[in-house]
Amino acid sequence: MIVPLEQLDDTDERLADYLRLTDVALRRRLETERGLYMAESTKVIARAVAAGHAPRSFLMAPRHLEQMRLVIAAATGCGGRDDGGEVPVFVAPEGLLESLTGFHLHRGALAAMNRPVLADVSELLAGARGGAGARRIAVLEDLVDHTNVGAVFRSAAALGVDAVLVTPRCADPLYRRSVRVSMGTVFQVPWTRIDRWPALDELHAGGWTVAALALTRESVSLDAFAAAPACTDPEGRVALVLGAEGDGLSPRTIAAADAVVRIPMAADVDSLNVAAAAAVAFWELRVRS
């Protein structure tokens, strides 16, 4: 249903999902409690809907309503209706939207989406590539920056990574900034959260060669590792583990990995930002057949 908003009503429970979006700590708690995440921009919402995620409601300025009608009609729960059916489609002047959310909604629209149930790790990996199974995966260990998480997902989607696993303390891939930076590719790359970490024994049992991206005395160059049988075999399974900003990977993870890999550097540069390093490694380790 189309719901015009003329003034801000803090008592309207249907608008509670959108209040104080800029309060990061509050949103982390509330979004988890309510089982929702925020999709920002017309493109991101379209990708969330295409992935089968169900909206709780939409929020947008009048000028974006027409271009969103097909997306609204395609969304789960909207009954094929471009007015949302039973799902509220809030439409308000841009100034009122800014008062409600706490920021300028310059990307067209927002949607409060129901969080999908995360898959079991083995189920996720077996179901990747349309059921053919994953051959390249990334593991994000305790990344704390939502921008980096979103950027890693965007690179994963573009460079052939079949699935992403995130550790218990890793930032939320479905947090608004992560989703926005990923350009909605977080809905395209299968991912789930690992219950315990390190859990490399589970990956080893599944036939995965685990490569830790880190700077150690024992590390081998990325191009040398890419020439190893695990990477050149078209059916080889390689898991690349990426560590937290600043501290990098934990010593336990490095010790349990099959290989420790570094990106060769020039000009006395010792390392790259984790998102940039991920993109380089994803490209070099891609399946080439």
Residue 203 confidence class, pLDDT cut points 50, 70, 90 = very high
State which of 114, 147, 164 marks the end of a domain: 114
pLDDT tens per residue, range 66-89 = 999 999 999 999 999 999 999 999
Give the pLDDT band of residue 15 (cuts 50, 70, 90).
confident
Position 277 scores a pLDDT of 96
Instruction: Report how far residue 190's alpha carbon sits from residue 137's, in angstroms, rounded to the nearest whole number.
Output: 10
| Nearest CA-CA partner of 235 in 169, 162, 183, 157 | 162
Q: What percent of the chain has pLDDT over 70?
A: 98
Question: What is the mean pLDDT of the segment spanning 171-194?
Answer: 93
Q: How far apart are CA 137 and CA 210, in angstroms?
A: 10
SS3 74: helix
pLDDT at 131: 95
Domain boundary pick from 89, 114, 139: 114
Q: Are residues 59 and 100 in the same domain?
A: yes
Three-state secondary structure call for residue 245: coil
Structure tokens at 205: 């049992």
Q: What is the pLDDT of residues 130-143, one digit of tens each?
A: 999 999 999 999 99
- Does residue 289 sit within a domain? no
Domain limit, last residue, from 64, 91, 114? 114
Work out the average pLDDT over 258-281: 91
Same-domain pairing of 254 and 155: yes
Q: For residue 286, what pLDDT is reported?
A: 96
In a domain, 230, yes or no: yes
Report the pLDDT value the prediction gives residue 169, as an integer from 0 to 100: 93
Domain range for 215 is: 121-284
Does position 183 have pLDDT exceeding 70, yes or no? yes
* Sign, Cα dihedral of 11, 14, 17, 19: negative
pLDDT at 199: 83
Report how far residue 261's alpha carbon sits from residue 169's, in angstroms, rounded to the nearest whole number. 23
Q: What is the CATH number of the domain that holds 93?
A: 3.30.1330.30
pLDDT at 94: 85
Q: What is the mean pLDDT of residues 5-20?
A: 80
- Whether 87 maps to a domain, the answer reads yes
- Per-residue pLDDT, 160: 95
- Which strand ranges, in their side-by-side order, compose the sheet holding 36-40? 2-4, 89-91, 55-60, 109-114, 36-40
**Is 228 among the domain residues?**
yes
Domain count, the chain: 2
Distance CA 180, CA 263 (A): 28
By C-alpha distance, which of 108, 114, 55, 117 is closest to 86? 55
Q: Tell me, what CATH number does 180's domain have? A: 3.40.1280.10
Q: Span 100-110, mean pLDDT?
A: 77
pLDDT at 107 exceeding the cut of 80:
no
84/131 same-domain check: no
Q: What pLDDT score was predicted for residue 119?
A: 94
Within a domain: 40: yes
pLDDT reported for residue 189: 96
pLDDT band at 106 (very low <50, low <70, confident <90, very high): low
* Digit-coded pLDDT (tens) for 270-284: 778 999 999 999 999
Does the residue 220 lie in any domain?
Answer: yes
Average pLDDT, rounded, for the chain? 91
